[in-house]
Amino acid sequence: MRRVLRNFLSPVYKLYEKRLERQIRKNKVPEHLAVIMDGNRRYAETLGILPHEGHIEGKTTLENLSDWCRQLNITYLTVYAFSLENFNREQEELNKLMDLFEESFRNAGDDPRVHENEVRVRAIGHREMLPDKVVKAIEYAESKTEKYNKFNYNLAVAYGGRQEIVRSMEKIAKKIKRGELNPTQINADLISSNLYTSGLPDPDLILRTSGEERISNFLLWQLAYSELYFADVFWPEMRKIDFLRAIRAFQMRKRRLGH
């Protein structure tokens, strides 16, 4: 029923979408957009399809999002694809997801759009926990795009925000133990430089789909001053108009960093 209604309203949405995009282009857009892609499984459940089929449709939405960001010149895109907690899912679903990750990273390394637009592709997270085939696919995409810097596409896989901070502390502690660092030198910049996102600006806007209003252990250190936007739509159903509404909401806010 929802699809029928959307198809009926599609011409109206297209007109509104074009108008909204024109307005957005007149103002500053986020430099770094981070996205929690939530709702693949619930979307699949509403349609009576298997969970991994929901993830496949979500992959198409992610490809669209990457295009939308480039169109608005959003330089950095970081998406939360797979958390450490997700390893607790059924083995069959995990196997399907790992196959999808392998395919996605391989495709990213070969995608003409990636090379034409000079998109650097990276994975952040505990990749040592991933199957070898996925790690090799990640390394393939990263090596094929490592010289690009026009756009940056980061996929958080086997990622946890708390665990990332702990890892940063461990790296700093080892430097202190080796005598390379004095404890008095520890500051926020040092911690940031030892995170997976070292060298990347903190996200200006964090977008979460599915209507849930929580961060779920995503970029906990980096989101200190990020704007948050929660969209009441399952990830595979997110349209460009939903994306544009999030950007417009960001533009309408008066950012008071630290206040």
Residues noted as catalytic:
38, 86
Locus of tokens 């969970």: 51
What does the angle CA 214 – CA 219 – CA 220 come to, to the nearest 5 degrees? 70
DSSP string, the chain: -HHHHHHHHHHHHHHHHHHHHHHHTTSPPPSEEEEE---HHHHHHHHT--HHHHHHHHHHHHHHHHHHHHHTT--EEEEEEEEGGGGGS-HHHHHHHHHHHHHHHHHHHH-HHHHHTTEEEEEES-GGGS-HHHHHHHHHHHHHHTT--SEEEEEEEEE-HHHHHHHHHHHHHHHHHTTS--GGG--HHHHHHTSTTTTSPPPSEEEE-TT-----SSSTTTTTT-EEEE-SS-GGG--HHHHHHHHHHHHHS---TT-
